[in-house]
Amino acid sequence: MNRLISTEPATGTELWSGPIGDATAEVAAARAAWPAWAAQSVSYRIETMRRFANVVRARTGEFAELIARETGKPFWEAKAEVGSVIGKVDISVSAYSERTPMRKMEGALGSKVAVRHKPHGVLAVLGPYNFPAHLPNGHIVPALIAGNTVVFKPSEKTPASGAFLVDCFHEAGVPDGVLRLLIGGPDEGRALAGEDGIDGLLFTGSARAGASLARQFAETPQKILALELGGNNPIVAWDVKDIDAAATMIVQSAFLSAGQRCTACRRLIVEDGTEGPLVDAITRLIDRIIVDNPMADPQPFMGPVIDIAAADALQDSWLGLMMKGGKPLRRLDRPYEERPYLTPAMIDVTDIKDRPDEELFGPVLQMIRVKSFDAAIDEANNTRFGLAASLIGGTPKMYDKYWANVRAGVINWNKPTNGAPSNAPFGGVGLSGNHRPSAFYAADYCAYPVTSVEAELARATIPEGLRDPVAER
């Protein structure tokens, strides 16, 4: 039997292995379990999710260590991710009540108009590697509350974290058939997406993979498709008063999770000629960043990126920027050639013509100098993506202009681009999604509305268009 092996990015040590699954069999199991799960009351399903939160809470340390070792992110950050898994339950309960409530209104002739919501059926969830528990959990919990069953395929780079998450659901009393785990790589992902037996797919990942899924689902409009994709996210720093605070937010935006966040800042846009003090503050902070094993003491700010292939691709992109005329402010170095550690890097790309509009999914910050605030807004919008954007500095009037003109689904002021709140919608425009925001609005795509006109007695008339029965005699 073929098996999938997961190794620790920081050490190369084998961490976990499991048999590669069969998409058809997993979908069939979820389909068989769906009627009974959908027939349970919402309160029953919510209570089951609350038990799940308690199971995760009791296993926080174990779960966080597994995530840290499998992704390479620092242990402190992995603990925060487990906390988000727990918090997602209460948020999803509130969202279900607010976004998909039952409503009754008065209709004609004493009838009632009722609006209720039904689950789709079997939903597939494809998870990413950067947040292997929190992000798929953000789909799974609202899907289960709504009455769907789920087949979850974690990233082939983080299968152990996905398996642990599913085990927590089952330990809490979610029936085996209601949440199925599909282990595998891209082939299994494509097979799952193409299964006739699924009623929709919820995906978090790259824009390239999302576009492929959109093409695949173009022939099946009856199936829901929710895409949460990446970004080439800008920060505009303008008329900054507190240089150190601005530098801290920029470093957090660019380098948390080794830059492996869809909301990470990729482009820093500054006023040409005034950027010196801010750049100095940023580079001083970069020089202090600890890059180390996720379980090291003292704890690092960054661990490695996910694997050797990712590190190699980032180095190739960095060299491409330099060859096009980019001027390194802090180099992208590889401290250990045999492991995917990278140092945080910053490069001035102002003089590059036709800058590549790509999501460099790692610790690379590109700086662009412009002459005016209007030019800064134009540069912020100089992307096919539209996930996150931030303005640091400026005035309320400038922020109003920035908010009104920048195309993004998350727009912040004097805050980092990352760390979006789970009690609000999360999604983007352009290549960053398909207008199905997740987080608090995940309830919207986990159930569909049903409108009913209802009356206790059948009464009907046809007031016009009939011949007079008396005249016909």
Residue 354 CB coordination number (10 Å): 6
φ/ψ (deg, to 5) at 106: -75, 135
Instruction: Determine the Cα–Cα distance for residues 398 and 403; give it in Å rounded to an integer.
Output: 9
**pTM score:** 0.96
Find out whether 213 and 225 touch, Cβ atoms under 8 Å.
Answer: yes
pLDDT at 171 over 90: yes
Domain architecture of the chain: domains with CATH: 3-229+433-454 (3.40.605.10), 233-413 (3.40.309.10)
Mean pLDDT over each residue of the chain, to the nearest integer? 96
Q: What is the pLDDT of residues 401-446, one digit of tens each?
A: 999 999 999 999 999 999 888 899 999 999 999 999 999 999 999 9
Q: Percentage of the chain surpassing pLDDT 70? A: 99
- pLDDT of residue 1 exceeding 80, the answer is no
Find out whether 356 and 320 touch, Cβ atoms under 8 Å: yes
Place of tokens 């004097």: 414
Residue 472 has pLDDT above 70, yes or no: no
What pLDDT shows up at residue 407? 98
Q: Residue 401 has which token pair?
A: 């202009």
Q: Is the pLDDT of residue 174 over 80?
A: yes
Three-state DSSP class for 413?
Answer: strand
pLDDT in tens, 329-379: 999 999 998 999 999 999 999 999 989 999 999 999 999 999 999 999 999
Q: Which of 115, 57, 114 is nearest to 87 (CA)?
A: 57
The predicted-structure confidence for 102-115, as pLDDT tens digits, reads as follows 999 888 877 899 99
pLDDT digits (tens, 9 = 90+) for 7-66: 999 999 999 999 999 999 999 999 999 999 999 999 999 999 999 999 999 999 999 999
Query: What is the Cα–Cα distance from 449 to 248, expressed in whole angstroms?
Result: 44
Which is higher by pLDDT, 166 or 110?
A: 166
In order of 41, 111, 209, 299, the CA distances from 303 in angstroms are 44, 62, 25, 10
Tally of CA atoms within 13 A in the half-sphere of 427 that contains its CB = 21
Q: What is the Cα–Cα distance from 49 to 208, expressed in whole angstroms?
A: 33
Q: How far from each other are the two terminal CA atoms of the chain, in whole angstroms?
A: 82
Catalytic residues: 228, 262
